[in-house]
Amino acid sequence: MVWTALLTLVVMALAAPWYWVAPQDGQALGLIAIALMFAMSAGVTIKAYSIAPASLLAPFSYLEIVGAVLFGWFFWQEFPDIWTWFGATIIVASGLYVLRREAVKASG
């Protein structure tokens, strides 16, 4: 989590002189809220991976795909095209294959 934050800080600091625009009105509060939610999410994810095996937790990350589709549909009235669904299907199918393979390997 620390390395991700530091790398992001360095990359954004390098780009800031050309793109920085000071936040206005409530934007700073929104940015702080996003940073706090990201930190909490990363912390919970790290804790989950310390408790359970990755092969058990990885399929839950596919809920991000569902969340992204719903978010885009609700806020921007966008719905994924056929190629997006095709790619998502490949990602989910390969993850489920790995989950099944690990379960079979663990059982015997």
- Give 5's pLDDT tier (boundaries 50, 70, 90): confident
**Which secondary structure element, helix H or strand E, spans residue 56, and what is its range?**
helix 54-57
Question: pLDDT of 85-103, one tens digit each?
Answer: 999 899 888 888 887 887 8
Question: pLDDT of 11-69, one tens digit each?
Answer: 999 999 999 999 998 999 999 999 999 889 889 988 999 998 887 787 788 888 888 89
Number of Cβ atoms within 10 Å of the Cβ of 65: 17
Domain ranges of the chain: 1-51, 54-108
Q: Which residue in this structure is represented by tokens 């702080």?
A: 32
With 0-12 CB in 10 A as exposed, 13-18 as middle and 19+ as buried, what is 35? exposed
Q: Are 102 and 55 in contact (CB under 8 A)?
A: yes
